[in-house]
Structure 1
Amino acid sequence: MTATLCLASASPRRRDLLASIGVDVEICPVDVDESPRRDESPAQYVSRLASDKALAGAKLSMLPVLGADTAVVCKGRILGKPHDRRHASEMLGALSGSVHEVLTAVAVSGPAGLLVRCVTTKVWMREIQPGEIAAYWATGEPVDKAGGYAIQGRAAIFVERIEGSHSAVVGLPLFETAELLQRQGVSLWTAMS
């Protein structure tokens, strides 16, 4: 298959999600400053990062470029990727027994300009015991995940329910992504034929 989209990310989850809707990608990881800006809301933050990634990728490829970013927001605070075991334990402890939001923004640069959408999903987590947090960290799964957990992995047992897009919590809101890709002239289902 010939790539029809440049993915400005090395995320295997995003690559797999795009493959699930038949989009073959060229991987073009980019490096952007992910520091939150003063007085920037979580939605502004993820939208800016997704846009910055798409625009940086556009310098590397002639294809339309998709950038995305996901943030876990608990009590108004953005939880990034854990630095170490202690940090992951703190994050999962804060999420335990509460509801939080996962915001994922997707930006696609192409013939129609830069198109951006941000999706918010609410996630309810059950109480997570300290021993479960330690055992989960030992799996290695939380290391590079926003909020220190992967809903598509073993942390699924911590999630009571969600309200919104499951694929957005994984890393890419597929409904909105498909709309943006079609507006940029990227065909869906092509890698499946």
Structure 2
Amino acid sequence: MSKLIDGQDGRPRCAWSASAPEFDAYHDSEWGYPVGDDIRLFEKLCLESFQSGLSWRTILSKRENFRAAFCGFDWNRVAEFDAADVECLLQDAGIIRHRGKIEATINNARRAQEMVAEFGSLAAFFWRFEPDPATRPEPQTQTTSAESVALSKALKKRGWKFVGPTTAFAFMQAMGLVNDHARGCICREKADAARARFQPPATTPGA
């Protein structure tokens, strides 16, 4: 099966981008481009955790609701959520009402605070797991990798939850640690160029 499909403008894109109307803009402007913003990194990892067992379309369609429910994914605010907040979120039909995932998000916000204290930023931690592009296999042939396994283990060691290797790999694809756009996709070269300009932040303990 081809990994490419012509978009509405006639130019080739990853075939999955045509599987739902909302995927077109997400594919062209977000997926696979390097991200150094901590809020976006935290948000994406949380949303990937919520996706576990579900489709990304389901999560993407509810993303604005998640942002409202979790204070724009400001982990310092989410870290203050208590049992009453959990019960309130369980009544919010705009998000995925899964107690374990909601509680994991609150837990992970607290772990994010610790990580920032240790590394200076979330980005400084996550970008340590960027694989060597020269060793990458053919795009879209993996759902995990040695690096996503290592990232998952490192997060779990620090107390993060719902961060298995598949979740970690999807996070790495989306946030540009891995350029998994299909060969021939109009966004592959754009993502490579963005990565060439991007400078991952250095670790600054205690920042």
Greater share of helix: 2
Q: TM-score, normalised by structure 2?
A: 0.25
Q: TM-score, normalised by structure 1?
A: 0.27
